[in-house]
Amino acid sequence: MPALSASPIALALRIFVLIVAVLLGLKHLAIYPASEAGADWIGLAAPVFYLWAFWSGAEVFSKSRDAAGFGPALLSGLNQMGAGLMLGAWVAILAEPALRHLVQNGFTVMTGVRFDLTLANLVLAFAGLTLILLARRGRQIRAELDGFV
């Protein structure tokens, strides 16, 4: 397990992620008892991926202080951040509405598919894809530059 970085931005992001994760858990425990409203617990799926993206963003900030510049660790952080945003958005668009519908109906009504195609979800998915493609292009450029040396 890597040690926490000395970067104040990375440390602040990691503390933010931990606080938000605890608050989300406490909110759901207080509002929705374990025996009721199981469908509402599904709403935590997308935020988990978004928090993973924040955590990976902290990794990007901690690695950007290194002299390596656009090195493998930074590219990995960008890739993970993009994956977290994309997965969270697609879970919010596809999985949450469908699972919520199934759970609320007791898995008896399995007709139709529900989507939550909001602009915010689509923008997050696009931002995640952009970060993944940026990391991929960074690896290609890095390989070309290493070929020169």
Assess contact for 82 and 130: CB atoms under 8 A. yes
Compute the distance between CA of residue 32 and CA of residue 34 in angstroms, rounded to an integer. Answer: 6
Query: Percent of the chain having pLDDT more than 70?
Result: 79
Mean pLDDT (the chain) is 81
pLDDT confidence of residue 5: 47
Across residues 53-69, what is the average pLDDT? Answer: 76
Q: What is the pLDDT of residues 63-98, one digit of tens each?
A: 776 656 667 878 888 899 999 999 999 999 988 888
Does the reported pTM lie above 0.75?
yes
Is 94 within a domain? yes
- Residue 66, exposed/middle/buried by CB under 10 A (0-12, 13-18, 19+)? exposed
Q: What is the pLDDT of residues 34-51, one digit of tens each?
A: 545 556 677 788 899 999
Which domain, by its residues, includes 30? Answer: 8-148
Is 67 within a domain? yes
Q: Please tell me the total count of domains within the chain.
A: 1
DSSP secondary structure letters along 99-124: HHHHHHTTT----S------HHHHHH
pLDDT confidence of residue 147: 81
Is 1 within a domain? no
Is 3 within a domain? no
Is 73 within a domain? yes
